[in-house]
Amino acid sequence: TVHEGCIYQLKLFCGKDYPDNPPSVRFQTRINMTCVNQETGVVEPSLFPMLANWQREYTMEDILTQLKKEMMSPQNRKLAQPPE
């Protein structure tokens, strides 16, 4: 895929209401994905079902696993990526 061999940095910020409310997730590294705001790197909750339908039982690992699956999805795996 276009993500092969790439290293991405993310920031997950848990507010005082975590785990009742989802953390904010932001890519520090530029990435082209349908659920990521191209200007800010923020994973848009409205476009990323796990954040939109957050459940208290979800973990940081669950978020990362779902992001990886999203990267492999047909709509994202062939998107041209910004230069590093």
* E-strand stretches of 1-84: 10-13, 24-27
pTM for this structure? 0.91
Tokens representing residue 81 in the block? 């990526």
Q: Domain residue spans in the chain?
A: 10-68
Q: Which fold has domain 10-68?
A: Ubiquitin Conjugating Enzyme (3.10.110)
Task: Report pLDDT for 6.
Answer: 85
Share of the chain above pLDDT 90, in %: 85
Q: Check whether 2 has a pLDDT greater than 90.
A: no
For residues 5-15, average pLDDT: 93
For residues 50-56, average pLDDT: 97
